[in-house]
Structure 1
Amino acid sequence: MPKDLGEEVAKRLDQVTGHSPTEKGQPEVVRELRNISLIYHASKVMLCIILNRLENKVEELLTEEQAGFRAGRSTVQHIFSCRIIVENNLCPDDIDLFTAIVTERRSNGAIVGPLGQCIIADMFKRFRDGDRFFFERNDPLIGFTEAQLNAIKKISMSSLICITTRTSTMQDNAFLFNTSKKPCSEFPVLDFGLWKQT
């Protein structure tokens, strides 16, 4: 490398970065340059070039609504704008049903609020009432008798697991694991004699 060129690079890097490229001595003397300092400054320049090229491309690709990871923008601004619109301009008829269910305050012990609870309860009621084979349906042709219904309601999930598997002990609630178990012989068994035709 020519002596004049090395000295010129050293001076320019010193001016651009504000850091002296030499550990001690005079910055103009090329033989006193530290290589690590030169690499550090060169990588900074390269990173600035790459960043400028990426920023321009990212700005082209991102939509106007995208605020995250953009200079001078924040998702806080979008949230604030939405809140102002909702508080000042919207009436309940303008809100989408799913959005209302997701954003309403949750009821105690529930994962949805009152609106979500009402809709879910109504949906399951309609499922039950629309199923002509639902076991509690009081239909004289296909429904169960009162004695048969009482026998069915005594059978729990734990009873079913005991009856259909080789396990010998089971907890009262099959869905709770850290509870005491009891022998399967203590769980009720379905009395099929109630289904014998007379």
Structure 2
Amino acid sequence: MAELSDLIIESTRFIEENLGINLAKQYLYYIAQHFSVADDLRAIEAINNYQQRLAALTVNPSRLEESYLFELHGQAQGVTASLVFDNGAVSMTFMLHQRRTLIGRADPASGSFADIDLSSLDPHSTVSRYHARIIFDHHQFYIEDLGSRNGTAINFVQLRPNVRYILSNGDLVEFGAVSLRFVLEFEDSEKQFHRSPATLSTT
């Protein structure tokens, strides 16, 4: 018997190839609303991975170039970046592939689709459609709250809207009620950036 995650991928691919990317996004959003992380982890991961793939396909040319440059930089520096959800029972990883990554929730009615859609982890809709942005600039990662309804916090310290804050490896980032860990993985451990968890720095 086919896994549910495989069926989701196959059906989404069929819709994408025959009906277009936008309908495929709406289909995934609809499915995501009927799952919680406790239901089927593999299915949730399949949905999130495909949503990130579709988001990458619909970026404009300048963002594609930025994504390519970021990838080259990451390879040269031996570093990869991600946001990790881990509640003790379930673990999910969202890779940060672009220089600018929008975190939020999907809203097909308005045509809003974040690069990282946290809908499946946010049953009470505490994450805004355009909640926050993670930026890679001059060898450093930053986060900026975009005026979200429930705010963004780093290590339990609330961020001011529309201000860039430096992200460091291991930071706990809260988007509304959804908590994720910012993780940098280095080939050379000496390249890691350090900052006191109690201190927040802006640009």
- Please indicate the TM-score interval, normalised by the length of the shorter structure: under 0.3
User: Which structure has more strand as a fraction of its residues?
Assistant: 2
Structure number with bigger Rg: 1
